[in-house]
């Protein structure tokens, strides 16, 4: 596996931990590479690699899901630099939209003129995880079928992300 593939894979795992959708569901949107590229383009490769390496070390040192979540909150979501980026990744996956980073973050770390609020591409809106989470069809984008609104939503969470304790053999 080359370094690029490794980074995309780690990005997928981090996205899973942040959104609670597993790699199968994330790949299923067809957006993994697009979101990874967007993130790199806007916050820069150095911050992305810092975020991913922090994630990997947290993952490898946690022995269960609870412990992992605890350190994810503390060292990524609670971090002044990485926290806003991680929250933007959550919003990106759920809505297909890149939201402009907060002013304080832009002042401290931001350098991209492209950091504005935008849909990543025309498919990303419809692929937003929010639609899967509530089993609804993105308005005006995917066909629900006439009358589908009369049946109850069919929500199931069998595509949740799972923490698997790290072993060297699994790499």
Partner 1 sequence: MSDRIINDISDLHHMLDAAIQLEHATIPPYLTALYSIHPETNIEASAAIRAVLVEEMLHMTLSANVLNAVGKHPDLTASDFVPDFPTRLPDGEKDFMVSIDKFSPETLDTFLKIERPSKTQDEDNQMGPRGCIVRNNHAEFQLKAISPKGAQEYSFYSIGDFYEAIIEGIEYLEAQANQSGNTIFTGDPSLQVSSKYYYSGGGHVIEVTDKATAIQALSLIIEQGEGHGHEIFDSEGEISHYYRFEQLKHGQFYQLGDEPGNPSGEKFKVDFEKVYPIKCNPKLTDYPQDSQIFAAAKAFNHNYQEFLSMVNKAFCGEQDLLLGAVCGMFRLKEHANQLIRNPIPNAPDSHGGPTFEITGQDMVQIDDDRCVTETV
Residues binding partner 1 (CB under 8 A): 22-25, 27-30, 121-123, 127, 137, 142-148, 151, 158-159
Q: Which is nearer to partner 1, 104 or 149 (CB)?
A: 149
To partner 1, the closest distance from the beta carbon of 85 in angstroms equals 25
- Give the nearest distance from C-beta 166 to partner 1 in angstroms: 18
Is the separation of the CB atoms in 115 and 101 below 8 Å?
yes
Return the number of the residue (22 or 71) whose C-beta is nearest partner 1. 22
The answer to whether the CB of 102 falls within 8 A of the CB of 81 is no
Q: Of 8 and 58, which has the nearer Cβ to partner 1?
A: 8
Contact 51, 82 (CB under 8 A): yes
Spell out the residues 6+ positions from residue 110 whose beta carbon is closer than 8 angstroms to its own.
Answer: 43, 101
């Amino acid at each position: 596996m080359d370094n690029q593939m490794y980074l995309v894979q780690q990005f997928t795992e981090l996205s899973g931990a942040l959104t609670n959708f597993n790699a199968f569901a994330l790949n299923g949107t067809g957006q993994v590479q697009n979101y990874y590229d967007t993130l790199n383009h806007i916050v820069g490769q150095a911050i992305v690699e810092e975020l991913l390496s922090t994630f990997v070390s947290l993952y490898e040192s946690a022995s269960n899901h609870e412990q992992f979540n605890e350190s994810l909150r503390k060292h990524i979501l609670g971090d002044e630099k990485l926290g806003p980026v991680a929250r933007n990744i959550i919003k990106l996956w759920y809505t297909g939209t890149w939201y402009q980073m907060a002013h304080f973050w832009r002042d401290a770390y931001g350098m991209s003129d492209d950091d504005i609020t935008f849909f990543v591409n025309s498919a990303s809106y419809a692929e937003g995880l929010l639609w899967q989470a509530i089993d609804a069809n993105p308005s005006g984008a995917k066909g629900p079928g006439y009358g589908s609104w009369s049946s109850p939503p069919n929500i199931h969470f069998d595509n949740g992300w799972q923490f698997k304790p790290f072993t060297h053999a699994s790499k």
